Amino acid sequence: MEPAPVIHIQNLSHRYKTHQALSGVSFTVLPQSIHGFVGPNGAGKTTTLKILATLLKPQPGSLAGVHVFGQDIVLQRNAVRRRMGFMPDHFSMYRQMSVFEYLDFFGAAYGLGQVQRDKIIGDVLTLTDMAGRRDDLISGLSRGMQQRVSLARVLVHDPDLLLLDEPASGLDPRARIELMEILEELRRLGKTIFISSHILSELATLCDHVTILDRGIVKYTGTMRGLIANADGASAIYHLTLAAEHQPAGDALARLPGMQRVTPPLPNEARYTLTFDRAQLPLNTILQTALAAGAQIVSFTEDVKHLNQAFMDLTEPGVGG
């Protein structure tokens, strides 16, 4: 039996004067999942997030149903707010406060006592790897560190659901990777994470489910794996990296039923590109075949460009209004 969804949106529409931002949007987010919310700039992602966060009131007659933890976001707004944390794309910070003062201020705003605040702030600073900067002024922190402080602020009241709008925006590659590792740890701690981005490949290895929005319309909602199957039938493209080039393994893989193509590695490399029918050929069979041939496997990853192609197939060119 599938668990009750954390987020359930049914037939949501929203309009700004002459611009239709959302048109009949429907999707669900399951508990303890990392659910990507992906679409081009102007697709309606931020509008949806603001409605979910109870910062934008649904228009009269437009709301068929938006529930968070089974609670109506309009009729039970305060109860919904207590269980969620929202990190917007563009956030303001009290730059002349220290990191601890900033988090302590928000902890007090949530009604937490001083002893409780001290403990929680210590925990979230450790989780976000900012414990060593607790007394630093926010104005002296890099963009990546400010993002960590903003995420720590979202966690101060220990919400069950995190709404993150483009959290990796403006970060360098290392800071992006570190942020994704933090989000993975939060999922392991039982949080549900709903994360918006306009770059599918950025979320490919992080999310188990994804909803693609384009010009206010849901083009796909479901598992990440289902997205690829939806866009390209049963074919899958994976990269298999070995410790060294291994011709017997390549030959053995090419003979597998369902294997469509084995692209050999470039000179001085050991990365094979495998194109195969996922319905006929399980991933475990591929790995077992390579090992049985005597190869030493370093990594086995899905092709990111394949995911990008799935995204491009489902969205229209140009930027939505």
Q: For the residues of 158-215, what is the DSSP string, one character each?
A: --SEEEEESTTTT--HHHHHHHHHHHHHHHHTT-EEEEEES-HHHHTTT-SEEEEEET
Query: Lowest-confidence range among 8-12, 107-111, 223-227, 240-244?
Result: 223-227
pLDDT at position 64 is 63
Phi then psi for residue 205, to 5 deg, are -85, -10
* pLDDT at residue 295 tops 70: yes
Q: Determine if residue 66 is left, alpha or beta; phi over 0 gives left, psi from -120 to 50 gives alpha, anything else beta.
A: beta
* pLDDT at residue 290 tops 80: yes
The model's pLDDT over 79-133, given as tens digits with 9 standing for 90+, comes to 999 999 999 887 778 889 999 999 999 999 999 999 999 999 999 999 999 999 9
The residues near 168 (Cβ < 8 Å, ≥ 6 apart) are 147, 175, 176, 179, 180, 197, 202
Q: 321 falls in which pLDDT band (50, 70, 90)?
A: very low
Q: 228 falls in which pLDDT band (50, 70, 90)?
A: low
The model's pLDDT over 136-194, given as tens digits with 9 standing for 90+, comes to 999 999 888 998 999 999 999 999 999 999 888 777 778 888 888 899 999 999 999 99
* pLDDT at residue 218 tops 90: yes
Element (H, E) at 156: none
Mean pLDDT, rounded, for 7-26: 92
Better-predicted residue by pLDDT, 231 or 307: 307
pLDDT at position 176 is 82
* pLDDT at residue 313 tops 80: no
Q: 318 falls in which pLDDT band (50, 70, 90)?
A: low
Report which of 211, 258, 248, 255 is spatially closest to residue 230, judged by C-alpha positions.
Answer: 211
pLDDT at position 49 is 95
Percent of the chain scoring above 90 in pLDDT: 61
pLDDT at position 262 is 93
pLDDT at position 257 is 94
pTM greater than the 0.85 cutoff: no
* pLDDT at residue 9 tops 80: yes
Mean pLDDT, rounded, for 292-309: 82
Mean pLDDT, rounded, for 52-69: 82
* pLDDT at residue 320 tops 60: no
> Tokens for 223?
């598992």
Mean pLDDT, rounded, for 33-49: 92
